[in-house]
Chain A
Amino acid sequence: MRIHPAPAAPPAIFDVAAIRALFPALQQQVHGKPLVYLDNAATTQKPQAVIDALVSYYAHDNANVHRGVHALSERATAAFESARKTVQRFVNARSDREIVFTRNATESINLVARAWGDWQLNAGDEVLITAMEHHSNIVPWQMACARTGAILRVAPIDDYGDVVMDEFARMLTPKTRMLAVTHMSNALGTINPVGDMVKMARSVGATVLIDGSQAAYHQAVDVQALDPDFYVFTGHKVYGPTGIGVLYGRESVLQAMPPFLGGGDMISSVTFEKSEWNELPYKFEAGTPNIADAIALGAALDFVQSIGFDAIGAHESAVLAYATAQLSAVPGLKIIGTAKHKASVVSFVIDDIHPHDIGTIVDREGVAIRTGHHCAQPVMDRYGIPATARASLAMYNTTDDVDALVGALARVRQLLG
């Protein structure tokens, strides 16, 4: 028997029933059955604290930021900038000048592909991604390559859903100017060894962007430890509202990089001859920002931190292990994505039953899962399938949810088997 070292701190008390009670959307019935929400990789439900933050901002503090001298504008500005500090702490950035608010992860990646890509990429340079990227970490690079003549390279994945590291190392050369890689795959659940990948990229002088959209709500992120140049995530997956995303950028890189969009807020002075860019991070935030959702994102991150990723991670791992075992026992079911290091996602197919039919049938049992290509068509092509069904977990899911899914899958078999 293995002897586990004593935990440094007593395990946090994780009361999943109490946590569920904080999410109003989870309290409903769908088609006459209690909602079992297992589509968290698409978006998570919102705790009351986040909903309250939105309502309270609009009810009391609504004003434009960084421009008024009146009380409401000062309150709104303070709340907005305090949310930025919350994000800074959440990813452990050195400074809040390194935190840029965007609309979502997609916009964050496009910002880098445009502002950094058009500035730094030249014909013959290479951008390296992996075969498990979400479309939003593929298409902006394809577009940047088309503009600059750079070449997009794709590191392959193996049957388990891990990046083939030998190939990855081989493809990373002094020609590689950018490594853009996901921290965690939304389609397979794989967690990439991004720490090692960053070190390898550094050794050839490449700049690194990590897509943290999936990782950011399952595990603590420390950009100083990981040390990428850019780390992006999207608010709505980390229990925050839609319409708000984050770009972390290393200060020296953001400083040197030209702006993305032009307009108000991103300048320090404008004449018709020339404009001076504003200081960081405002240089990258043109126009009135999404004030309300930034503030509510701050509330979401505070909420997550108050529970803590140690507790969330332990709970989610236990439910994932249960889900993997229970689903593996479903006749004809095959799990797609069996990396050793994975989190919170079970993608699967059942014989030749189309995932869309699975999705429709389990929905009638109150179970919400995602079916389709999950914005990762190259992943589907890699496994030679058009689509998968995907159950994905958040902090509020339980083994009962897994049982409900397995029960609903029996109905699929009964109808279509």
Chain B
Amino acid sequence: MQDLNDLYQEVILDHNRRPRNFGPLPDATQSAKGHNPLCGDRLTLSLKVEADRITGISFEGSGCAISKSSASLMTDAVKGMTLDEAITLFDRFHLMVTTPIDEPIDKDAEAAVGKLAVLAGVREFPARVKCASLPWHTLKAAITNAPEPAKTE
């Protein structure tokens, strides 16, 4: 049986209780809004980009434990990365959370996402995959500076 503890792992609960990089980013160079119409979650992601590198990042908004901890983990993970590196990590993360539950996760993707692997448990909860991926779609929108709010599909 799929266990709730696969989803709500200690790391996730910790990031939910004490989200990292949460709040405004006064010297942001770009930002994007994400919206999950299914649950009404809204998220604003702000980036400070200098010479193609993410030197500052923060998020604000309301969301469930999964989207909040995913945003928190993501901001920790991509801080200091170049934009290309962040996009590559987006692809790996996306691959991980959308791999069907009865298939093994791509080894490179798993290695690349590192600590983010705690979110692989969402695969057992199809309705919650979008919660985990919303911050990432919003990051991609902020990087590409898309004018439309990011959606989860």
Nearest B residue to A356 via CB reads B64
Asked whether, in the complex, the Cβ of A360 is within 8 Å of the Cβ of B125, the reply is yes
Q: Is A171 an interface residue (CB 8 A)?
A: no
Q: List 7 A-B contacts (CB under 8 A).
A: A32-B1, A354-B39, A354-B41, A361-B8, A364-B2, A416-B13, A416-B65
Nearest A residue to B8 via CB reads A415
**In the complex, what's the smallest C-beta–C-beta distance from A387 to chain B, in angstroms?**
5
Asked whether, in the complex, the Cβ of A361 is within 8 Å of the Cβ of B41, the reply is no
CB neighbours (8 Å) of B7 from chain A are 360
Within 8 A of B (CB), among A6-51: 31-32
CB neighbours (8 Å) of B40 from chain A are 372-373, 377, 380, 386-387
Q: Is B66 an interface residue (CB 8 A)?
A: yes
Nearest A residue to B38 via CB reads A372
CB neighbours (8 Å) of A373 from chain B are 39-40
**Count of residues in B whose CB is under 8 Å from the partner chain:** 21
Asked whether, in the complex, the Cβ of A415 is within 8 Å of the Cβ of B64, the reply is no
Nearest B residue to A352 via CB reads B62
CB neighbours (8 Å) of B39 from chain A are 354-356, 371-373, 386-387
**In the complex, what's the smallest C-beta–C-beta distance from A405 to chain B, in angstroms?**
16
Contact with A along B29-50 (1 / 0, CB 8 A): 0000000001111100000000
CB neighbours (8 Å) of B62 from chain A are 354, 386
CB neighbours (8 Å) of A356 from chain B are 39, 41, 64, 66, 128, 131
The residues of B with any CB-CB pair to A shorter than 8 Å are 1-2, 4, 7-8, 13, 16, 38-42, 62-66, 125, 127-128, 131
Within 8 A of B (CB), among A353-394: 353-357, 360-361, 364, 371-373, 377, 380, 386-387
CB neighbours (8 Å) of B8 from chain A are 357, 361, 415-416
**In the complex, what's the smallest C-beta–C-beta distance from B44 to chain A, in angstroms?**
14
CB neighbours (8 Å) of B13 from chain A are 415-416
Residue from A31, A354, A371 with most neighbouring chain B CB atoms (10 Å): A354
Asked whether, in the complex, the Cβ of B16 is within 8 Å of the Cβ of A416, the reply is yes
CB neighbours (8 Å) of A415 from chain B are 4, 8, 13
Asked whether, in the complex, the Cβ of B128 is within 8 Å of the Cβ of A364, the reply is no
CA A380 to CA B62, docked complex, whole Å: 13
**In the complex, what's the smallest C-beta–C-beta distance from A36 to chain B, in angstroms?**
17
Contact A360:B1 (CB < 8 A) given known A372-B40, A377-B40, A416-B16: no
Nearest B residue to A380 via CB reads B40
CA A416 to CA B4, docked complex, whole Å: 12
Contact A31:B41 (CB < 8 A) given known A360-B125, A360-B127: no
Asked whether, in the complex, the Cβ of B128 is within 8 Å of the Cβ of A354, the reply is no
Q: Which of B16, B41, B63, B128 contacts A360 (CB 8 A)?
A: B128
Name 7 extra pairs, CB < 8 A, besides A360-B125, A372-B38, A386-B39.
A32-B1, A353-B65, A355-B64, A356-B128, A356-B131, A415-B8, A416-B16
